[in-house]
Amino acid sequence: MNARLRDTADLLARLIGYPTVSADSNLAMISDLAARLEDCGARVDLFQDAGGTKANLFATLGPDEPDGLLLSGHSDVVPVADQDWHSDPFILREDNDRLYGRGSCDMKGFIAAATVMAQDHPVKTWRRPMHFCFTYDEEVGCLGARALTPELRRRGIRPAMAIIGEPTSMRVIEGHKGCCEYTVRFSGLEGHGSAPQKGVNAAEIAVRYVQALMELRGALMLRAPADSRFEPPWSTLNLGRISGGVAHNVIAGKAEVEWEMRPVQESDATFVKSELERIVQRDLLPGMKAIHPDTDIVTEVIGEVVGLEVMPENAARDLVASLLGANGADVVSFGTEAGLFQQLGIAVTVCGPGSIEQAHKPDEFISLQQLDICLDMLARLGQSTALTGGEG
């Protein structure tokens, strides 16, 4: 193992040791990364959330101007509860050229590689800025990036290009679906199970809502664009959780449905939301309120994250493809923060080490080979005359 790869594996071990599950703080990890980047000479800003327990990191090497390239990754990881791991998920385990641990591929491997790249060039004279962005709460609705991008716009910070280092097996990705998540709460009227006509069964209303969702799933399949490159080619709906009621013999007074939508096109999202609103207002609420006026159906938007739109001209895609020697670019169905940065007018591509097939699973891992390919790409980036004064 070469020294650069060893340094990256060692830093990854440290980052995995921070249990940055989305429900918990990421401040210790972010403070560690901030100190490392400051040691490289970077200008570092931390943007805390309202509760003061989480922060986005934004750092810049090179000139202070609205240009350059952004390397971005999220610091949070998904939970490990009820997963069957063969070792402690927050202690890196190296075995057979694989590095195991929660977040190893999604996506602390890329964050470690990007930070080592910064440490490799601490005094380089950058002709254009090199930015580093590490966010919080991507896994629960891209909350950190949604808070950060308006602040970057306000400050006039707009890199020309961005690489989002999600695990793509180092394939160049130029487009992905959006991701919209919702929790729908149904408030009915409890009563004795022997007289269901005297109450409003929130669980039954929730089932009717879910039935409407499943019918819309079929309608979305028929709306798939003829030239869609996604797999599947249509916008998808997924029912994540349904709950309600307290006992066999009690009319359910409360119920919840959690679901998500991954639209191929914005018109599909508009179609689904308008159809559901029509069903709620016409078919569900009137009957509920006829029995009891305080019944209700309330939808909470957990997150509506735009997709990454395929663009005919994309400097970030073309740059990364040239560095990797790749022919063309792909699209994926999983979501990232890329679309939020694209909305700032930035050319964006998604490319990072590790496979999405390992993300969120027990015994998550990243291979040393994937990390090495990423490090080589970043080293080439650090020598690119597009970003530096041409010195190697």
- Phi/psi of residue 294, nearest 5 degrees: -90, 0
**343 burial class (0-12, 13-18, 19+ CB within 10 angstroms)?**
middle
Residues 33 and 142 in one domain: yes
pLDDT at residue 266, rounded to an integer: 87
My answer on whether omega of the bond before 232 falls inside 30° of 0, hence cis, is yes
Range of the domain at 217: 179-305
Residues 186 and 169 in one domain: no
**294 burial class (0-12, 13-18, 19+ CB within 10 angstroms)?**
exposed
Residues 27 and 110 in one domain: yes
How big is the chain by its Cα radius of gyration, in Å?
23
Residue 392 lies in a domain: no
Residues 267 and 280 in one domain: yes
What is the separation of C-alpha 175 from the centre of its chain, rounded to a whole number of angstroms?
14
Residues 158 and 202 in one domain: no
- What is the β-pairing status of strands 179-187 and 254-262? antiparallel
Residue 195 lies in a domain: yes
Residue 189 lies in a domain: yes
Residue 387 lies in a domain: no
Q: How would you write the pLDDT of the chain (392 residues) with one tens digit per residue?
A: 799 999 999 999 999 999 999 999 999 999 999 999 999 999 999 999 999 999 999 999 988 888 899 999 999 999 999 999 999 999 999 999 999 999 999 999 999 999 999 988 765 667 889 999 999 999 988 999 999 999 999 999 999 999 999 999 999 999 999 999 999 999 999 999 999 999 999 999 999 999 999 999 999 999 999 999 998 999 999 999 999 999 999 999 999 999 999 999 889 999 999 999 999 999 999 999 999 999 999 999 988 888 998 999 999 999 999 999 999 999 998 889 999 999 999 999 999 999 999 999 999 999 999 999 999 999 998 877 556 654 43
pLDDT at residue 295, rounded to an integer: 98
Residues 222 and 363 in one domain: no
pLDDT at residue 388, rounded to an integer: 62
Output the six-digit token pair for 339.
Answer: 């679309």
pTM: 0.86
Question: Residue 72 pairs with which residues in a beta bridge?
Answer: 133, 164
Question: Residue 58 pairs with which residues in a beta bridge?
Answer: 45, 133
On whether the CB atoms of residues 382 and 375 are closer than 8 A, the answer is no
- Name the CA dihedral angle for 313, 317, 319, 321, rounded to a multiple of 10 degrees: -120
- The one-letter amino acid code at 231 reads E
Residues 155 and 107 in one domain: yes
- What is the β-pairing status of strands 43-48 and 55-61? antiparallel
Among residues 64, 75, 62, 68, the alpha carbon closest in space to that of 110 is found at 75
Number of domains observed in the structure of the chain:
2
Which residues belong to the active site?
Answer: 76, 138
Predicted confidence (pLDDT) per residue in 166-208, tens digit: 999 999 999 999 999 999 999 999 999 999 999 999 999 999 9
The contacts of residue 137 (CB under 8 Å, 6+ apart) are 22, 54, 74, 76, 143, 144
Of 286, 305, 324, which closes a domain? 305
Residues 54 and 169 in one domain: yes
On whether the CB atoms of residues 364 and 104 are closer than 8 A, the answer is yes
Q: What is the DSSP letter of 126?
A: B
On whether the CB atoms of residues 167 and 73 are closer than 8 A, the answer is no
Residue 14 lies in a domain: yes
